[in-house]
Structure 1
């Protein structure tokens, strides 16, 4: 952190909290963050834009997570990013999942064994994530093992000529995801949000092992039996285009910071 940034922080953080932020003893982190939170968001509580309980919950979560950091690894080189994350958390602090994610990012920024990939980009992504997308991201990620990948089915209707040759395909539903537990997630909007944020991708590819072949078959049986809002002609038939869903490199980095 350069001297100019240090001076800016010194101007806005109460003296006791400021001293705690820059001191090595780890026990001071929670106190310092709590002081900064109250300084930044006290007025929002007063006008009813934020609840005091949510603010206390974020502070307590940071304290609990910071206690897991070895004192010799306490690092202030990315303190500016930690404070930026605190500032951005005000837009999401009322949601429990996002509040916990911000607490994880804040404390990882102060641990030199974890903060290599803590960056303003990670703060930006988290601050632009909706509560529903946060739930999808967390639940989907934690349901998976190994390659962090699962299947996606896209329900389509295919039009064929009298000889059975496919003449055209019409998309009906997108991004019907199966997580690692086998649960079906109809998550078009939230998946699109995570794609836009650069966390996941759904390429025009599918998984070919026998395990996934069986999953695709079972998914197609289920989703082609669902009621649809359009009337098919005699030349149209429901089917499923196979896809996969996986984390991007940015998504893997963010997931490691938030959930590991």
Structure 2
């Protein structure tokens, strides 16, 4: 059973988790003061994500996804796009996520999105798999895209950010999987999604990937350590 951009009662847990993460100050943590953050060191964010993961791993996964999307905007050279999206991402008014593998290399992007050139802009097609924080109220997703070669331009990779309301963009959540519902995780399908050059997040894919890799390599082990340190559930025995 799947769900697209409509809400079910079970999915209400994910928005409340994002709101809770924002209230804890995790979204502004370790973001530069000049960009609306608290200016704390990354170690502070790691410590607080570890604490959250020890309490509720689903909330920590949502925080991880949102914080990586924020990091992508923080380091984007597209100032207009950053100023438009970053404030709402920092408050949690807008959900953010990205599609990426743990090693964060372009060659191993979790799913391939390709861009076919049009007279003005491109059509994006592809499938993003296992993407968290797909809040039914709306979200933005950051992903790498392969732009096909065209006259005067070779094939290239670049980063884009897409809004959930784009025509041709749909997400599916398997509501039979409680963990997917808790983290609003699912697949995002792109079918001829129109994209313009001025919405490009970064045309130097490796430089932005490095910033994301550094943050991910700090946060992911902390979340794993918290999960491993949680006590095993106690199973009560009953006499019949």
Query: TM range, normalised to the smaller chain?
Result: under 0.3
Taking structure 2 as the reference length, the TM-score comes to 0.26
Q: Which has the higher contact order (CA 8 A, sep 6+)?
A: 2
- More helix, by proportion: 1
Taking structure 1 as the reference length, the TM-score comes to 0.25
Q: Which has the larger radius of gyration?
A: 1
- More strand, by proportion: 2
